[in-house]
Amino acid sequence: MLTLALVTLVLHGLLAGLFYAFSMSVVPGLNAVEPAQAEAAMRGVNRKILNPWLFVVFLGSPVAALVAGLLADGAAATWFLAAAGVSFAGSFLVTAALNVPMNNALEAGTISWQDYSRRWTAWNTVRAAASVVSLALTGAGLAAL
């Protein structure tokens, strides 16, 4: 159980860091160049980020927390299950419902960089915050073991 809890903590930390880096540096950096360059760069990022490492972290975070919650007892179970719920709602659902459709619109050329950047970063920051909360909840679950 301890190993699973630690893996869950690391997965949430990686996901929080990924989302944080995009909101705090990647997109602001792209905003500093011409919109056509920013769009091209972000399209490249969106293509390359779809890889097995992302899927392990992105899908693994809520699943690991859920499994840890189902296997743990008492307060630890509650913390892990809460982490799974926040991760699923704040990261997975936001990604599927908002960020991915915006990525698809950018790829198709149906959204301007200005509109994309502002909206995408706002929702990405929600994902970052949810991932940080999930990380903290996971830490609480680990401490309660």
pLDDT confidence band for 114 (50 / 70 / 90): very high
State the distance between the two ends of the chain, measured CA to CA, in whole angstroms.
9
Q: How many domains does the chain have?
A: 1
Q: Which DSSP category does 27 fall into?
A: H
pTM across the whole model: 0.95
Q: Which helix (H) or strand (E) holds 112?
A: none
Comparing CA positions, the residue from 116, 94, 121, 92 lying closest to residue 104 is: 116
Provide long-range contacts, Cβ within 8 A and 24+ apart, for 36-39: 36/113, 38/113, 38/117, 39/106, 39/113, 39/116
pLDDT tens profile 45-72: 999 999 999 999 999 999 999 999 999 9
pLDDT at 123: 98
Q: Could you count the other beta carbons within 10 Å of the beta carbon of residue 27? A: 20
Per the CB < 8 A criterion, the answer to whether 18 and 60 are in contact is no
Q: For residue 46, what are the domain limits? A: 2-144
pLDDT at 117: 98
pLDDT tens profile 96-111: 999 999 999 999 999 9
Q: How far apart (Å, rounded) are the C-alpha atoms in residues 53 and 95?
A: 17
Q: Could you count the other beta carbons within 10 Å of the beta carbon of residue 11? A: 25
